[in-house]
């Protein structure tokens, strides 16, 4: 019997969420265990509160973890003897091994997905993600840095324009008619961005006006993928209270 996959991560980490989403899209649905691990933030850190942060889950500071992931970041996936770190590498690995149709079942398909995944890292979505969410969901209103919030919000919108243009071209998903791993990693960012203006988010006290096209993009992802529903259903999305 195949060993159960183990995912070390923090459910409120968007990089961990990309992997959880992928695991939920795999055709063969291997069972997996989520092992809570983090150096910053743990249970309760999803709520806007005085001591935003909570106690970290730990594990990442152990020697055993460093052997699996020398960077000590989350997520990290363990499949038998193999440990894979870097969320996009994990997503690619899972698709190739367990559900190749998520990269159009070919090397060429993978080559069409990868640029979107690499672009997301290279264009530093992480900075917008980190600043916008830290400010809106994890910082009390009177302590927020409005300039930083505005900059990160605009940064997201500028980057998403490329995504919207692409989706307008294909009429469906990033690389064409099929939902792929490229949509998962970009969709996780869309989810995170949309959380900051969600009516169920405590961050709603910060009023952003989302463009109509952005709302369409969010709807596109939510209506076409079971995974988006999984992410936005509340348990893994940091900003729903
Ligand atoms: N590029 C890496 C980034 C990894 C990373 O920075 N992860 C964050 C969470 S999103 C982390 O480990 N933060 C410290 C912590 O939560 O303990 C990836 O995609 O996996």
> How far apart (Å, rounded) are the C-alpha atoms in residues 170 and 214?
16
121 CA closest ligand 1 atom index? 1
Ligand 1 mutation pick, 9, 13, 16, max ligand atoms within 8 A of CB: 13
pTM: 0.84
The first and second tokens of residue 90, run together, are: 């994990």
> How far apart (Å, rounded) are the C-alpha atoms in residues 55 and 40?
7
- Set out the domains of the chain in order of their start, with CATH numbers: 5-101 (3.40.30.10), 105-232 (1.20.1050.10)
Output the CA angle 11-131-41, nearest 5 degrees. 35
The first and second tokens of residue 66, run together, are: 């460093």
Residues of the chain with pLDDT under 50: 47-52, 199-217, 219-241
What is the pLDDT, as a whole number, of residue 157? 85
What is the pLDDT, as a whole number, of residue 171? 86
What is the pLDDT, as a whole number, of residue 172? 85
Ligand 1 first shell, C-beta below 6 A: 10, 13-15, 38-41, 60, 73-75, 86-87
Which three-class secondary structure state does DSSP give residue 58? strand
Q: Residue 177 C-alpha to ligand 1 middle, in angstroms? A: 31
86 CA closest ligand 1 atom index? 20
What is the pLDDT, as a whole number, of residue 144? 85
14 CA closest ligand 1 atom index? 10
Ligand 1, atom 5: closest residue by C-alpha: 73
80: left (phi over 0), alpha (psi -120 to 50) or beta: left
What is the pLDDT, as a whole number, of residue 43? 75
Question: Cis bond leading into 239, ω under 30°?
Answer: no
Q: Are 120 and 30 in contact (CB under 8 A)?
A: no
Ligand 1, atom 10: closest residue by C-alpha: 13
pLDDT tens digit sequence for 108-147: 999 999 999 999 999 988 888 888 888 877 777 788 888 9
Ligand 1, atom 4: closest residue by C-alpha: 73
Ligand 1, atom 19: closest residue by C-alpha: 87
């Amino acid at each position: 019997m195949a060993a159960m996959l183990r995912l070390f991560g923090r459910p409120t980490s968007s990089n961990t969420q990309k992997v959880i989403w992928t695991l939920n899209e795999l055709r063969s649905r291997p069972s997996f265990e989520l092992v809570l691990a983090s150096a910053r933030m743990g249970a309760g850190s999803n709520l806007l509160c005085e001591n935003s942060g909570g106690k970290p889950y730990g594990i990442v500071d152990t020697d055993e973890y460093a052997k699996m992931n020398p960077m000590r970041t989350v997520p990290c996936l363990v499949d038998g003897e193999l440990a894979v770190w870097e969320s996009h590498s994990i997503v690619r690995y899972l698709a190739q091994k367990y559900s190749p149709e998520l990269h159009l079942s070919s090397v060429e398909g993978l080559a069409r997905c990868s640029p979107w995944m690499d672009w997301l890292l290279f264009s530093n979505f992480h900075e917008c993600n980190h600043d916008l969410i830290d400010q809106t969901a994890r910082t009390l209103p009177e302590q927020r840095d409005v300039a930083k919030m505005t900059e990160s919000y605009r940064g997201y919108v500028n980057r998403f324009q490329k995504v919207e243009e692409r989706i307008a071209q294909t009429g469906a998903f990033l690389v064409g008619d099929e939902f792929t791993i490229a949509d998962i990693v970009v969709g996780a960012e869309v989810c995170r961005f949309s959380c900051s203006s969600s009516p169920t988010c405590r961050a709603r006290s910060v009023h952003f006006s989302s463009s109509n096209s952005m709302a369409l993009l969010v709807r596109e992802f939510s209506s076409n993928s079971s995974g988006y529903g999984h992410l936005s259903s509340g348990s893994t999305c940091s900003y729903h209270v």
